Amino acid sequence: GNSVTQMEGPVTLSEEAFLTINCTYTATGYPSLFWYVQYPGEGLQLLLKATKADDKGSNKGFEATYRKETTSFHLEKGSVQVSDSAVYFCALTRGNQFYFGTGTSLTVIP
């Protein structure tokens, strides 16, 4: 079947620290991969995506590379800010459906 597994949180980092949130997937065929972010009190928003192997999605200083050999799509940012505090969801699409992970809560402290 299709599923996404992401690292459990919560994650707490100091401002300017390096961030990695791990995500691995199981899917038939070649899914598209996404990271969505949910800021407090808001809906899920698309952060970045990659549609084929070796593609790198990037936005707002965040990056993730579609690794087919390791079935992974880890989210990274070199220097986090307090404003990055949110819940991050890894997801894939197959057919007409999205499959989400459980979400990883990130808190960045000044």
Partner 1 sequence: EPEVTQTPSHQVTQMGQEVILRCVPISNHLYFYWYRQILGQKVEFLVSFYNNEISEKSEIFDDQFSVERPDGSNFTLKIRSTKLEDSAMYFCASSGDRGYSEKLFFGSGTQLSVL
Instruction: Give the interface with partner 1 as residue ranges (CB under 8 A).
Output: 4, 32, 34, 36, 38, 41-46, 49, 51, 89, 91, 93, 95-103
Which of 73, 89 has the CB closer to partner 1? 89
User: What is d(CA 63, CA 57) in angstroms, rounded to the nearest whole number?
Assistant: 6
CB of 52 to partner 1, least distance (A): 13
CB of 97 to partner 1, least distance (A): 5
CB of 98 to partner 1, least distance (A): 7
Which of 43, 110 has the CB closer to partner 1? 43
Which of 62, 89 has the CB closer to partner 1? 89
> Who's near 69: CB < 8 A, 6+ residues apart?
none
What does DSSP assign to residue 104? E
User: What is d(CA 12, CA 55) in angstroms, rounded to the nearest whole number?
Assistant: 28
User: What is d(CA 105, CA 89) in angstroms, rounded to the nearest whole number?
Assistant: 9
